[in-house]
Structure 1
Amino acid sequence: MADRISMLSDELLSHILSFLPTQQAVTTSVLSKRWKPLWISVPVLDYDEEIYLRNKEKPQPHFCFERFVHATLLARDFHQQPITSFRLKYGVSCAAPNVGHRHANADVNVWVNTAVRRGRGIENLDIEMFSRNYISLSCCIFSCRTLVVLKLKGLYLTDYCSVELPSLKSLYLVQVEFVEPQNLMELLYGCPVLEYLKTYDMYYVDEADFCEEGFKTLPKLVAADLHFLGVTRINIILKAMCNVEILSIKQNEVDDGVPEFRHVRHLSLFLDTHNWHWVLLMLKNCPKLQSLELDLLFSFDVEDVLPDSHFVVPECLTSHFTKCYLKHYGGTKSDLQFAKYIMENSTSLLSLTIHSASSNPLKQLEELQDLALCPRRSASCQLSFSFE
């Protein structure tokens, strides 16, 4: 059988190699003389320390990984072979007694500086750290004018003098620590065309001086997926998200101050301590809302689920609202009251999907019967019920 791979052009082979971790792409250099230089032309550098740690035959695999990264970066002529994407997964071994945190910090910053400053046109940067001691990242990435996607995990962000990321459209912050909320806002305000923001387990060292002064709305932001850890005053940050169309919030504590989201069409909420009043305020302040996903995993019975007589039915329920999904529905009085409120007040509701958290068939049947008996204002509303 003919070697069809060898018939492909160097450009196409280089593109294929870009989907492999750099460690694997380099190994193709032993196939033939033609393959030897191909990995150097790959526009993607993808380093994963775990690949080395899984190789039990290598002594001191973390040091082998560091030498490999240094060697492959030095072997590359960035003027002739620019990179568009740089990904680094590192720090699994940093907890070991013979691997110094400062040493790891210095290595990471050398590698990142090389990729950003010499990469010429880098668009995607993904840094994922696993060290127990958070790495303090070099500030050079915050002035990279070509970055389009930035993903950071397990990092300590502070001491950046200024942020200028004029091309950045997607920002992912996972297990990232800031000194104070203003540091986060400085980062966001330096991304004038940011369209997507995702945070997960993000927290601050000091939240005491958190104030609203100077906060402004992000003009281009379309979607925000927010998960905070130990942050109580999220509503000030939410005011910067007022232009979004898709909003997801996972939070353990909230206060009553809810900004207005004039453009939100899809809303997803998960509250560790369920605050029904806050949920109703979110509905009230999303007048164009079309769909709601509400996770009731930590819901509990309270007496004030339904609003008082002075609470006006949210505008979205009488206009645009068509889909509602209640996840981990427990069949409590609070859960039933909220589902009933949605069905009784939603004029355009097409579907109410209930995902039961119960594994008891009798309990499931009881929940279904209770919901089926609830009056529906929308004649087109279909009730769907699913189980664990």
Structure 2
Amino acid sequence: MPGRDRISELPESLLTHILSYLPTKHSVKTSVLSTRWKNLWLNVPALDLNCEDFPYREEEEEEEAVLGFLDRLLEFEPGSRLLKVKVKCGNVEDIGGLRDRISTVIHRGPQHLDFESFTEYRDHDDAFLYPFIDYIPLNLYTSRTLVSLKLTFSGLEDPGFVWMPCLKSMILVKKLVSGCPVLEELTLVRNMDPILVGTDEKIMRVRSGSLKRFRVPFWHGKRCRSSVKCTLEIDAPMLEHMTLGEDHYDSVMVKNLTSLFMVDLGIKFAVKFGEFVDPGDLSKRNEIRYFLSGISSVKHMNISEKTVQALELYSRVELIPKFNNLSRLVAVFPGNLLEFLPAFLECFPNLKHLILEVVYFREEEDAFELTNVPQCFLSTLECVALKRIHDWEEEEMRVATYFLENAAVLKKLTLSLTDYPRLISDEEIFEEVNKVTKRSPTCQILPDWELC
């Protein structure tokens, strides 16, 4: 029949499930469609609320609008569950009573909670800093239903007791890990503002018998600096993947990483932007030695340009530990440190697969020699990929020649070229490569985006 409303004829459970994928403000708008839809949004098992979406002229009106909306939602079916909850307070200032409503939401037994708070600090007469806006209720820390948790810009004062038996994934800035016995994934972001984190030296401990993936992401970029010293301590015997993508911490300590399979390093072992490790600093050298020894059983490694720079400085005064289990390495190497490449690869005696990106600075390049032959060249190195080659000039040819002439068991060399116009064709590159060695490892040329 023309004009028939087939969507409204669907079962209510299916309609509310569909609405659960929409922001709450959009599901509310469906209430004007018909009588059938009037209260349908109130039964949706998900809440996606942005407090800044409420129109207001005065602060009191905004507070009443937010609380009134939540009260209507929570009082409609007091026994129903909100399985997925996302609340963003943004820059909305203190809303009295919001903490109590969030507590009620948590009592509803959500499985997924994503909460962005608005926490500010003030200086009291006793010169200590205390939060005066924090919407996180204490019953969060004893939730028996949460499977994933993301907290952003929350004060997160130490609750004393934490028991979250179902939590598997967490993104936060404070310590809840020890009370989460099945936690498998954790992303940790440190707030670098000394006003928010205090001025005492601190230790952030991540201790978990279940954690499998741990990330400190690249987050603040150039702003990643702080006058507050903080040490990150990781003790996780089941950890398989670790990413340290930013220097959020002055020092990193690792313990019991016996299951570590892959590590992604983007740190330079110094928090301040543009600052690198001082080889003359004995305590920093000890820190780096213990850290490298603690991850030395890893099998796959990704390493950034700035981490290579830090290790080159460290290598001037101490030997880098051997990574005897490492079989695959992805490295970004500064062109001005290429003479360090043989000594660097010597640390991986059983390396089989190498993906190498050399970052050249043409105007400043000094002549370099690649003479020493690492152990892996003689017995294990089978596949080498030279990544993101812009031009095929003397430096690139010299690096390719180094592998072709010295890697005794090399089976495949891949040259990954960018899409920039070149004066030399792929065929000419093949001809130059074939002149280098009488052996015939497979050589292929791929566009950069095809290289994994």
TM-score, normalisation: structure 1: 0.71
Aligned amino acid, residue 293 of structure 1: V
Aligned residue for 1:155, secondary structure, equals: coil
Deviations 1:16-65 (A, max 9, x none): 1111111111111221222122222222211124545xxxxx34397666
Counterpart in the other structure of 1:147: 146
Counterpart in the other structure of 1:11: 13
Counterpart in the other structure of 1:126: 114
Provide the rounded CA distance (Å) in 2 between the counterparts of 1:219 and 1:17: 41
Counterpart in the other structure of 2:396: 368
Alpha-carbon distance change, 326 to 184 in structure 1, aligned in 2, over 3 angstroms: same
Provide the rounded CA distance (Å) in 2 between the counterparts of 1:38 and 1:383: 58
Deviations 1:104-132 (A, max 9, x none): 5x66633432322x122x22111234767
Report how far residue 219 of structure 1 moved: 3.5
Provide the rounded CA distance (Å) in 2 between the counterparts of 1:109 and 1:253: 39
Deviations 1:218-277 (A, max 9, x none): 24433333344452211x1x3365533333333242542224336644433336472134
| 1:247 counterpart (256, 263, 274) | 263
Counterpart in the other structure of 1:196: 213
Q: Is the CA contact 1:168–1:193 (under 8 Å) kept in the aligned structure 2?
A: no
Q: Is the CA contact 1:284–1:314 (under 8 Å) kept in the aligned structure 2?
A: no
Counterpart in the other structure of 2:229: 207
Q: Is the CA contact 2:99–2:137 (under 8 Å) kept in the aligned structure 1?
A: yes
Structure possessing the higher relative contact order (Cα contacts under 8 Å, 6 or more residues apart): 1
| 1:305 counterpart (317, 340, 347) | 340
| 1:354 counterpart (379, 382, 387) | 387
Alpha-carbon distance change, 222 to 23 in structure 1, aligned in 2, over 3 angstroms: farther
Report how far residue 278 of structure 1 moved: 8.1
Aligned residue for 1:373, secondary structure, equals: helix
Counterpart in the other structure of 1:270: 304
Provide the rounded CA distance (Å) in 1 between the counterparts of 2:79 and 2:251: 49
Q: Is the CA contact 1:166–1:193 (under 8 Å) kept in the aligned structure 2?
A: no
In the alignment, structure 2 segments of 5+ residues that lack a partner are 122-130, 173-187, 192-196, 271-283, 421-452
Deviations 1:164-211 (A, max 9, x none): 2222222223654466786632xx43x653333333448888537x59
Q: Is the CA contact 1:203–1:231 (under 8 Å) kept in the aligned structure 2?
A: no
Alpha-carbon distance change, 183 to 349 in structure 1, aligned in 2, over 3 angstroms: same
Provide the rounded CA distance (Å) in 1 between the counterparts of 2:29 and 2:355: 51
Q: Is the CA contact 2:114–2:150 (under 8 Å) kept in the aligned structure 1?
A: yes
| 1:386 counterpart (418, 426, 430) | 418
1:224 matched to 2:246: no
TM-score, normalisation: structure 2: 0.62
Query: Aligned residue pairs: how many?
Result: 351
Aligned amino acid, residue 83 of structure 1: L
Aligned residue for 1:34, secondary structure, equals: helix
Counterpart in the other structure of 1:171: 170
Provide the rounded CA distance (Å) in 2 between the counterparts of 1:128 and 1:108: 13
Alpha-carbon distance change, 31 to 129 in structure 1, aligned in 2, over 3 angstroms: same
Counterpart in the other structure of 1:36: 38
Q: Is the CA contact 1:243–1:262 (under 8 Å) kept in the aligned structure 2?
A: no
Structure of larger gyration radius? 2
Provide the rounded CA distance (Å) in 2 between the counterparts of 1:279 and 1:192: 32
RMSD over aligned CA atoms reads 4.3
Once the two structures are superposed, the pairs formed by residues 83-98 of structure 1 within 5 Å of their partners are 83-91=82-90, 93-94=91-92
Provide the rounded CA distance (Å) in 2 between the counterparts of 1:72 and 1:131: 22
Counterpart in the other structure of 2:204: 184
Aligned amino acid, residue 198 of structure 1: R
Provide the rounded CA distance (Å) in 2 between the counterparts of 1:372 and 1:81: 65
Aligned residue for 2:68, secondary structure, equals: helix
Alpha-carbon distance change, 303 to 265 in structure 1, aligned in 2, over 3 angstroms: closer
Counterpart in the other structure of 1:73: 70
Report how far residue 217 of structure 1 moved: 2.7
Deviations 1:83-111 (A, max 9, x none): 122112222x34xxxx4xxx25x666334
Alpha-carbon distance change, 380 to 295 in structure 1, aligned in 2, over 3 angstroms: closer
Alpha-carbon distance change, 315 to 181 in structure 1, aligned in 2, over 3 angstroms: farther
Provide the rounded CA distance (Å) in 1 between the counterparts of 2:16 and 2:314: 51
Aligned residue for 2:216, secondary structure, equals: strand
Report how far residue 284 of structure 1 moved: 5.3
Alpha-carbon distance change, 244 to 304 in structure 1, aligned in 2, over 3 angstroms: same
Report how far residue 160 of structure 1 moved: 2.5
